[in-house]
Amino acid sequence: MAAGQSLEKSFRDYYLQALGVVQYVSKDLVDDIRVDSQESTKSAPVASQQAAAESLLKVDLEVKPNKRTAKVLSANIIAEETAALALKFAFWQPTDELLIATAATQELPNSQQVNLLKNIVKAIDSQSSGLPQFDVVNWPPHASMQGGETEAREFLSTLISSKLAAKPTKILLLLGDSAKHWLLSSSQKTEIIDGLVPLSDKVMGLMVPSLATMLSEPKTKPVTWHVICKYLNQYNVSS
């Protein structure tokens, strides 16, 4: 074995061992490496040895990171993804029987959207006295509560259940796909038929386009009226 090759092999073995990489070699080969390394170390300049070691260490770290390094990197990625999850929803309760929810991550409902919603509420219940100020719910609700999608869904599920139980609610009107995505369970989404989904034996969910979509794409408004009429006719509700 050439002196340069044996020196390189010796340093590589040393750093592989330091990184926790197990190597299996024959006893004869180990003896050859030890002898060649000792001879080469006497003749090789210190600077050359250090450069070779640093080069090998760099390669080994890039190609074969140890398990601890991989776990740290994975934990950092998960933490970044968790911190990036920020959700906001607006809720209205114009009557005891009607609860309305929409995602508001980008911006809160403006006056034009609120006026449109007033008309929608009138179509559902002509006896309603108007539209109250919306309540805003954020995820995470405060800095000390963090988590990813699973934790957010658990929080929102508990929130919806509490709101539905607080009053004799019969309708949960969800505006937009984002509200449907976050506020319904996977099984509930599969049971949606023509914009309607039973959430319990007392509550019916109505899925319609978002207010922003209905204003920017007027052709989507008939979808909303269709869902409302289907509910009123199917359950013999007089608006």
Cβ pair 223, 207 in contact under 8 A: no
Q: What is the pTM of this model?
A: 0.65
Contact residues for 4 (Cβ-Cβ < 8 A; gap 6+): 40
pLDDT tens profile 17-69: 544 444 444 444 445 445 454 554 444 455 555 554 455 444 444 444 455 54
pLDDT tens profile 164-207: 999 999 999 999 999 999 999 999 999 999 999 999 999 999 99
> DSSP string spanning 19-79?
TT------HHHHHHHHHHHHHHHHHS-HHHHHHHHHHHHHHHHHHS--HHHHHHHHHHHHH
The average confidence (pLDDT) of the chain is 78
216-235: average pLDDT: 95
* Most confident listed range (44-58, 120-134, 212-226): 212-226
What's the pLDDT at 89? 97
Three-state DSSP string of 147-209: CCHHHHHHHHHHHHHHHHHHCCCCEEEEECHHHHHHHCCHHHHHCCECCEEECCCCCEEEEEC
CA distance 103 to 91: 9
What's the pLDDT at 185? 95
Whether 130 has a pLDDT exceeding 80, the answer reads: yes
Cβ pair 152, 182 in contact under 8 A: yes
CA distance 143 to 177: 27
β-strands 135-139, 87-95 pairing:
antiparallel
Query: Which of 15-29, 113-127, 133-147, 158-172 comes out lowest in average pLDDT?
Result: 15-29
